[in-house]
Structures are given as C-alpha cells and as structure tokens.
Structure 1
Amino acid sequence: MTDQTHNRLNLSAGLLSCAVALSLVVAKLWAFGQTGSLAIAATLADSAMDLMMSLGALAAIAYAAKPADDDHNFGHTSAEDLAALAQSLIILISSGVIAFAALWRLWQGDAALPRNEVSGIAIVVFSIVLTLGLVIWQRRVAARTDNPVVKADSLHYLGDLIPNVGAILALWASSALGLAQVDSIVALGAALLLAVGALRIGKGAWDALMDRQADPAMIAGIAAIARDFDGVRGFHDLKTRRAGSRVFVNLHIELDGDQSLDKAHAIGAALRRAILRAYPRADVLIHKDPVGVQKHPDDPQA
C-alpha cells in the first residue's frame, strides 16, 4: 500500500468519525431536552468528547501525514500523541462533572423522574446503530493501515456502547418501575468508564512523548529477524521509541570485518527491508560494526 492510499484511508476514518460524533451530539442534545435524564446527559457529554477527540484525531492524522522536512527531520507523528493527551484531560474533567452531578442527586434523594422516555430510548438506539457502522469502517481501515489513532478511536466508540445501553436501562426503569435513582447510578457508571478510558489514552500518549520503547512483541520480532539474517553475525543496542503511528528503530549489527564495504552495505540494506516488510510503519536505522570490535574508551556510546 502506498503512503497516499494509507493516508487517504486514515483520513476517511477520521472524517466519518467527526460526522458521526456531530450527528450524535445534535440527537442527544435534543433527547436530553426532552427527557432531562442524567444518563442521557452522560452519553451526551461522552459524544461531545468524542467529537472533540475525533476533530483532534483528524487534525493529528492530517498533520502527521506531512513528510519530514528541515525543521522536523523525523516527521510530524508526535502530533497524534499531543492530541491524545489533551483529549484525555478533557474527558477526565467531563467525567468528574457528571459524577458530581449524579452524586449530588443521590445525596439529595429527591431526583426527578426523566420525561418522554420513549423519545430518549429511540435516540439512544439510533446512536448505537450509527456507532456500530462507524466502528465497522474504522476496523476495516485499521486492518489495512495499522494506524494506532484509528484503532484507539474504534475502541473508544465501541466502549461508548456500554453507557448507551445503560441509558436505555435507566430510561426503562424510570418509566416502568418509577426508579428515578437508577438514572443517577447509570450516570456514575458511565462517568467511571469515561475516566478509565481517559487514563488509558493519556498513559499511552504520555509513554510515547516520553520515548517509551515499542511493544515488547515488536522488539522480540525485530530481534528474531536480525538474529537469523544471512550475513549478520550478531547484533546489539536494539533501541526503539514511539511517536504517534511511527516506531523508530536503532540497531547495531555485527558483520565480517574483512568483507567489502559494498557487501556490508548490501547486508544492512537487505535487513532493513526485511524489518520494514514485517513492520511497515517503522523507521529503521542500522549501524554496522565489525565482529569483535571494542568500544573506544573516549567514545562509550559508539
């Protein structure tokens, strides 16, 4: 797949995500006005956060797609991590507001029953169907591009189905059983799910910005490729770091010091191609050392 096709698919997922989130915000805003349900308010806040996240993700995908330039030699993919970190903070604040409102109602003990439950349930069912359609497309795109932003967005929308189902339960319980407090309890659960998701997104973005190494399975896979590669006598100093959808790989390989420079270069270039075939979104830099070379005492990082 060419970079142009890769970027076009990712942008299509980002644009569809924004369109769905905007539609859900409008629909749930109307439903909240009709019902006054805190559970609906929780899903409305979640959809509003989804819209902000989707817009941020779209901007990050578009910016990260820019090629490396004189000012950004390693590309622009860290924009994805910055956007994700900002989004996680906004979601945490939103979950705190929802939880406070729900606890206040429970403490007061005089929560009003939601109104027009049928209209509210219809809107929530509509949002579930729309969200499922988005998730299906996002997963198709992620399967082809392996973009972590699209994957994370897909998982987040899939997680949104839980508070939506909870909102239906709250509306039904208030209508059929007159249990107004169920609305606040469901809102608390939705706020907790929002907070957990925000912390997970924030941790991933923070790890990337702090140059945390790549997934251990990927590191083991690269090591296996280098270990068994023809002409490579050994390797060391395998280092990785993540930046958005890119993984940067530095690797020292040990080669026969008596062979020609052309032969050594060919082995290193072939190994780089093998690693890229296994991990297409990697950026690989390979340094070649003669077998048995000792580090110079004045250059311990060599």
Structure 2
Amino acid sequence: MSAADRARLTTRAALASVAVALLLLGLKVWAALATGSVAMLGSLADTALDVIASLVTLFGVRVAAQPADREHRFGHGKAEALAALVQVGIISVSALGIAWRAIQRLIAGAETANAEDGIIVSVIALVATGFLIAYQRMVIRRTGSVAIRTDNVHYQSDVLLNLSVIAALVLDQYVGLTGADPVFGVGIALWLLWGAWRASLHAVDQLMDKEWPDDKRMRFLAVASARPEAKGIHDLRTRSSGAHDFAQFHIWIDPTMTVREAHDIVDAIEADLAREFPGVEVIIHVDPEGQVDNPGNPLLETDETREPIPE
C-alpha cells in the first residue's frame, strides 16, 4: 500500500469516528436528561470524550502521513503513538469521573426514570458503534495504524458500556434492583481503565523503540543471511514508527573482496529484504569477517553471542 493510500484510509476512519461520536453525543445528552441514569451519564461522558479523542486521532494520522523532512528525517509516524497516548489519558479521566459519580449516586440511593428512552438510544449506539468497529478493523488490517487501533479498542469498550446501560436500566426499573444502575456505572469505569491500560502498551512500545517480535526478527534474519556471501550477522536492531518499520545490522563479508563486490552483495541482500518485507527501511554495515566492533558493548554481539543465522 502506498503512503497516499494509507493516509486516505486512516483519515477516513478517523472522520468516521468523529461523525459517529457527534451523533451519539446528541442522542445521549437527551437520554441522560430523560432518564437520570448514572450509567447513561457515564456513557454520555465517555461519548463526549470520544469526540475529543477522535479529533486527536484525526490530527495524529494526518501528521503521521506527512513525509520525512529536514527536521524529521525518519518521518512523522510516532505522531500516531502520541495521539494514542492522549486518547488513553482522556479515557482514564472519563473512567474516574464515571466512578466518582456512580459512588455518589449509590450512597444517595438515587433512582432512574424513563428506561425506554435510554434503552432505545443505547441500541442505536450499539448499531452505529458496531459498523464503526468493523470499518476500523478493515483499516487496521490494511494500514497497521496504532492510532486507529487505540480508537478501535475504545469503541470496543463502548459496546460493553452500552450493553451495561441497558442492563442497568432494566434491572433498576423493571426488576426493581435499586442500586443496579450505579453498580454498573462503577463496572463501566473499571472496564474503561482496563481498556486504557491495554491501549497504552502498544503506543509506549513504539515510543520506546521496542524490538520487533521474535518471530518477525527470525524471519528477517533468515532472509538477510540467505546468500552464501553473508558470513555472519550481528547487532540487528529493529523498531517501528507508526506503520513504518526500520532495521539495521552488521554483516560479515570476506575481507579480500573489493568495495564494489561488497557493495553489490549488500544491494542484493537489500533487494531480497525488500521483497519479503516491503516498506522496511534497512541499513547494512559491512564488516570484514571476524571483525568485532567495541566488544565491551553488549549490544554489539561478539563472535560467541552474535545473532544466530537460521538454518
């Protein structure tokens, strides 16, 4: 997928998120006023912050789509991770506010009203959110966007949130279980906090330049070392920035080769990697066979601890 296609898809997904959030915000304002439900109030607060989070996502994916420039030579991909962390903060604040309001109503013993209005709005929210989640998942599969992934996690929690609102209203008004509404409100808050924690992990990994998963590293090594001229590979370093992957490593070459011959081998290895890992930016440093750079540095593996070459 080209950078332009990726930018178009992520922008459309972010705009769809903003549109759904605005629609649900209007509906839930009316439902919260009509029912007095703390669960619905919590759902309203979450949707209001959804609008802000979706706008942050839109901003993040647009910035991340910008090409590399003089000040950002590795591109702007980490803007997506930053946008994701902003969303996590918004979700966490929303959850704490919901929990506080629910505890207050539980102590006061407040009751709800007009359950039908709240249930209808929650069903509409479920349908709209379901369509949005399905669309976002398609975009995530095609682009790998961390910002859209975080937004998707949040909307997945919204499904449970709306189901909880329906259950709370039914139990409170039709079954007669007083206190069910605020109890569900606390449960919703805890679920949102758990979702925020899970969503933050991937964003933090990107910002901290975490290595690729082991299986991906091993596949990369297998391709990089496939040519017989590659006598050994060490100091493989990998990272991701948005949807962009980066890899660099040292390779041992026969020291009797000319510069031109070594250059041609590196070009061939880069072509092999480009076919198997399209879009990955690769930097290869050539060492004469047996050369160990700075052996005191544990990141620059010695002859005994260098990266294994898969069979």
Question: What TM-score, normalized to structure 2?
Answer: 0.88
Q: What does residue 37 of structure 1 align with? A: 37
The aligned residue for residue 180 of structure 1 is 178
Displacement after TM superposition at 1:256 (Å)? 2.6
Corresponding residue of 1:134: 132
* Aligned counterparts, 1:78-117, within 5 A: 78-108=78-108, 110-112=109-111, 114-117=112-115
Q: How does 1:1-302 map onto structure 2 within 5 Å?
A: 1-108=1-108, 110-112=109-111, 114-295=112-293
C-alpha deviation, 1:103, in angstroms: 1.6
Question: Matches of 2:260 and 2:170 in 1, distance apart?
Answer: 74
Cα distance per residue 1:80-101 (max 9 Å; x no partner):
1222222212221221111111
Contact 2:31 2:117 in 1 (8 A): yes
CA contact (8 A) 2:83 2:147 kept: no
Q: What secondary structure, in the 3-state scheme, does the structure 2 residue paired with 1:125 have?
A: helix
Deviations 1:145-177 (A, max 9, x none): 222322332233122211111111011112211
Give the C-alpha shift of residue 215 in structure 1.
2.9
Amino acid at match of 2:144: D
Letter in 1 for 2:110: A
RMSD: 2.3
Range moving further from structure 2, 184-193 or 215-224 = 215-224
Alignment partner of 1:258: what SS? coil
> Which deviates more, 54-63 or 135-144?
135-144
> Deviations along 1:155-207, whole A, 9 cap, x unmatched?
33122211111111011112211223111111111101111111222333233
Q: Deviations over 1:48-107 (max 9, x none)?
A: 222222111111110011111111111111211222222212221221111111122223
**Unmatched segments (≥5 aa) in structure 2:** 301-311
Q: CA contact under 8 A between 1:149 and 1:245: conserved in structure 2? A: no
Residue type of the alignment partner of 2:260: D
Comparing 255-264 and 137-146, the one that deviates more: 255-264
With normalisation by structure 1, the TM-score equals: 0.90
Asked if the contact 2:80–2:146 (Cα under 8 Å) also holds between the matched residues in 1, the reply is: no
Calculate percent identity across the aligned residue pairs: 38
Deviation at 1:119, TM superposition (A): 1.2
1:40, 1:167 within 8 Å by CA — same for their partners in 2? yes
- Call closer, same or farther: CA 1:279–1:51 in 2, change over 3 Å: farther
Paired letter, 1:189: G
Offset, 1:129: 0.6
- After TM superposition, which residue ranges in structure 1, 4 or more long, deviate above 4 angstroms? 296-302
Moved more, 142-151 or 49-58: 142-151
Q: Are the counterparts in 1 of residues 171 and 180 from structure 2 also a CA contact under 8 Å?
A: yes
Task: Provide the C-alpha distance between the structure 1 equivalents of 2:195 and 2:297, rounded to a whole number of angstroms.
Answer: 45
Moved more, 138-147 or 11-20: 138-147
Q: Matches of 1:248 and 1:226 in 2, distance apart?
A: 14
Preserved contact between residue 129 and residue 155 of structure 2 (Cα < 8 Å)? yes
